[in-house]
């Protein structure tokens, strides 16, 4: 940790962007005072560090090719570097517990959790969101034990089975590629999916009981890809309060009316719409139907999405940046970060206003990324 006064920059305070001074004291934001080295950041913005509620972009660092990465610790070092270079100071790494197998299967999830616990020290505060496929009825006990053993604080319920095709006895799309990733033959993979599909009647009661037990332990619960109001209401009734990436405005409105939180994908905003034809995230933001943006599969998209929303007049800078800092921090129960205020963690980013480029990231008062002219000013 370093004690410094950052001076000359425009700072994004909770009430807006204006000139100010940020004092770094022992890893937290303190009161400016004499006798501490100053770094002149004129021409730059200082903003709260980014809090990412859901990102699986780390997967390519852990397994750039199938079976190629054996030492997950070295992959995590690379993940840490990419997160920091994109201004992310707190990251929820969204790891599957899925019938898909491979690096999305239960065995890999256990390896990943162990590597994160026992592996290299990371500057970014990396935490885990476990994504549980609800039709894996025989895995409920093992999944719950893993959540407890690794103190996982965020669980999202998924159902990615191609039910429409399986109902008709048809071969689902992308079967061969998915089977190879899972280390199975296409025939074995199809049989597995069909068997899980046929146990649908068991899922509702099992999910409801599991959600109740996890909630009693204080685990934050979410659902993924809600597409109807009825589905979102069902999840809300089970105590699952976060609607992650709702596919329709109707589902998003049901989440809001039910008192739930809405998390949208930042890449959807950057692209100008969903790659799969779902509702526009930008439209939901402007309708007030968004509590947080998440990187989903592309870490740079977080800041890019906010800057695009601001440029298009949909939100102010403080409103937009709160979607990737203060508001996700609050949803995750992380009251010590998300805003630049005295007593909060010294999680911040230095940005070049004209380009939106991240020039420096400090996490808990420690430099996790720094480059270019800003680096020269820090070492001068």
Of 246, 241, 242, which Cα lies nearest the Cα of 226? Answer: 246
Query: Do residues 109 and 96 make contact, with C-beta atoms less than 8 angstroms apart?
Result: yes
Of 264, 269, 272, 266, which Cα lies nearest the Cα of 290? Answer: 264
**Domain boundaries of the chain, sorted by first residue:** 1-48+337-380, 49-336
Q: Which pLDDT value is given to residue 64?
A: 67
CA distances from 53 to 71, 100, 135, 146, 272 (A): 26, 23, 24, 20, 21
Query: Do residues 82 and 299 make contact, with C-beta atoms less than 8 angstroms apart?
Result: yes
CATH of domain 49-336: 3.20.20.140
Q: Which pLDDT value is given to residue 63?
A: 79
Query: Do residues 325 and 317 make contact, with C-beta atoms less than 8 angstroms apart?
Result: no
DSSP 354: T
Tokens 């290299």 belong to 120
- Alpha-carbon gap, residue 132 to 143, rounded angstroms: 8
Q: Which pLDDT value is given to residue 65?
A: 67
Q: Where are the alpha helices (DSSP H) in 14-118?
A: 59-62, 72-85, 106-118
- The two tokens of residue 347 are 């999680």
Query: Do residues 285 and 252 make contact, with C-beta atoms less than 8 angstroms apart?
Result: no
Q: Which residues of the chain have pLDDT under 50?
A: none
Q: Which pLDDT value is given to residue 69?
A: 59
Q: Which pLDDT value is given to residue 176?
A: 92
With left for phi above 0 and alpha for psi between -120 and 50, is residue 356 left, alpha or beta?
Answer: left
Q: Which pLDDT value is given to residue 193?
A: 96
pLDDT in tens, 318-333: 999 999 999 999 999 9
Domain 1-48+337-380's class? Answer: mainly beta
Q: Which pLDDT value is given to residue 66?
A: 63
What residues does 350 pair with on adjacent strands?
A: 46, 360
């Amino acid at each position: 940790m370093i004690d410094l006064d950052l001076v000359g920059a425009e700072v994004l305070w909770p009430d807006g962007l204006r000139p100010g001074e940020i004092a770094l004291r022992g890893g937290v934001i303190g009161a400016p005072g004499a006798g501490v080295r100053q770094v002149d950041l004129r021409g730059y913005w200082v903003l709260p560090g980014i809090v990412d509620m859901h990102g699986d972009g780390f997967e390519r660092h852990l397994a750039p090719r199938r079976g190629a990465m054996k030492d997950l610790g070295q992959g995590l070092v690379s993940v840490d570097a990419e997160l920091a270079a994109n201004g992310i100071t707190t990251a929820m790494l969204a790891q599957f517990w899925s019938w898909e197998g491979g690096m999305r299967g239960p065995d890999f999830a256990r390896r990943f959790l162990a590597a994160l616990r026992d592996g290299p020290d990371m500057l970014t505060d990396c935490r885990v969101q476990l994504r549980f496929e609800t039709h894996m009825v025989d895995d409920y006990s093992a999944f719950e034990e893993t959540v407890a053993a690794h103190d996982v604080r965020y669980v999202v319920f998924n159902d990615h089975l191609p039910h429409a095709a399986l109902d008709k006895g048809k071969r689902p799309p992308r079967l061969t590629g998915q089977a190879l990733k899972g280390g199975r033959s296409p025939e074995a993979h199809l049989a597995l999916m069909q068997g899980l599909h046929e146990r649908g009647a068991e899922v509702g009661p099992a999910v409801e009981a599991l959600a109740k037990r996890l909630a009693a332990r204080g685990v934050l619960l979410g659902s993924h890809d809600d597409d109807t109001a009825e589905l979102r209401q069902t999840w809300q009734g089970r105590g699952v309060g976060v609607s992650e990436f709702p596919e329709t405005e109707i589902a998003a409105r049901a989440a809001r009316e039910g008192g739930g939180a809405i998390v949208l994908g930042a890449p959807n905003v950057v692209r100008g719409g969903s790659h799969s034809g779902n509702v526009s995230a930008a439209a939901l933001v402007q309708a007030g139907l968004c509590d947080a943006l998440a990187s989903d599969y592309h870490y740079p998209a977080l800041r890019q999405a906010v800057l695009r929303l601001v440029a298009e007049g949909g939100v102010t800078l403080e409103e937009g940046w709160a979607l990737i800092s203060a508001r996700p921090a609050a949803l995750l129960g992380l009251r010590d970060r998300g805003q630049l205020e005295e007593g909060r963690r010294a999680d911040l980013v230095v940005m070049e206003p004209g380009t939106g480029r991240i020039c420096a990231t400090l996490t808990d008062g420690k430099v996790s990324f720094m480059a270019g002219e800003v680096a020269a000013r820090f070492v001068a």
